[in-house]
Amino acid sequence: MAYSDKVIDHYTNPRNVGTLDKSSHKVGTGLVGAPECGDVMRLQIEVGEDNVITDAKFKTFGCGSAIASSSLATEWLKGKSIDDAMKIDNMDIVEELALPPVKIHCSVLAEDAIKAAINDFRVKNGMAPIESEKVHH
């Protein structure tokens, strides 16, 4: 299967690889997926004043599309408010990276990781988690 140029770009030069201090109250961590399924994503956000995301980092165990999806997600998250970040849809990732149908689950995982990171931050800071009612494509 051929990968799109954007997937190859993110895979070859992944943005924002790394680890934030998960014990910090400013940091939200989302760990989604399972080793048995062949992909695990850990996405972390650091949230500053006015609930704006100031930094984002990821580490991913998975195929090229999973790595690219999480790399792209970190790029999109920086500078967004956590409310706007909550609106990132997996299909936006599919479109941006031109993922084929068999790789849509990678984008779903990235969206789940974003939401999990935001909710982790919210809970840490006394806010109620936002339940996602979305049915994935």
Partner 1 sequence: MNLPIYLDNNATTPMDPRVLEAMLPYFTTKFGNAASRNHPFGWVAEEGVDYAREQVAKLIGASEKEIIFTSGATESDNLAIKGVFEMYKEKGNHIVTTVTEHKAVLDACKHVEKLGGKVTYLPVKEDGLVDLELLEQSMTPETILVSVMYGNNEIGVIQPIKEISAIAHKHGALFMTDAVQAVGKIPVNVNTDGIDLLALSAHKIYGPKGVGALYVRRKGPRVKVTAQMDGGGHERGMRSGTLNVPGIVGLGKACELCGQEMESEAKRLSALRDKLQTSLLELEESYVNGNVEHRLPHVANISFKYVEGEGLMMAMKDLAVSSGSACTSASLEPSYVLKSLGLSDDLAHSSIRFGLGRFTTEEEVDYAIEVTKKSVNHLRELSPLWEMFKEGVDLSKIEWAEH
User: Which residues contact partner 1 (rule: CB under 8 A)?
Assistant: 1, 3, 11, 14, 17, 19, 31-42, 59-64, 66-67, 102-103, 105, 108-109, 112
**Nearest Cα residue to 120 out of 133, 108, 129:** 129
Rounded least distance, CB 135 to partner 1, Å:
14
Comparing CB distances to partner 1, the nearer of 79 and 102 is 102
The Cα 74–Cα 121 span in angstroms is 16
Rounded least distance, CB 39 to partner 1, Å:
7
Q: DSSP letters of 7-46?
A: HHHHHHS-SSBS---TTSTTEEEEEEEEGGGTEEEEEEEE
**Kind of pairing between the strands at 53-61 and 27-34:** unpaired
132 secondary structure, DSSP code = P
Comparing CB distances to partner 1, the nearer of 88 and 116 is 116
Rounded least distance, CB 81 to partner 1, Å:
26
Rounded least distance, CB 75 to partner 1, Å:
15
- Residue 63 annotated to the active site: no
Query: Catalytic residue among 7, 106, 108, 113, which?
Result: 106
- Residue 37 annotated to the active site: yes
The Cα 25–Cα 48 span in angstroms is 10
Comparing CB distances to partner 1, the nearer of 79 and 130 is 130
The Cα 6–Cα 52 span in angstroms is 27
Comparing CB distances to partner 1, the nearer of 53 and 104 is 104
Q: Which residues are designated catalytic?
A: 37, 106
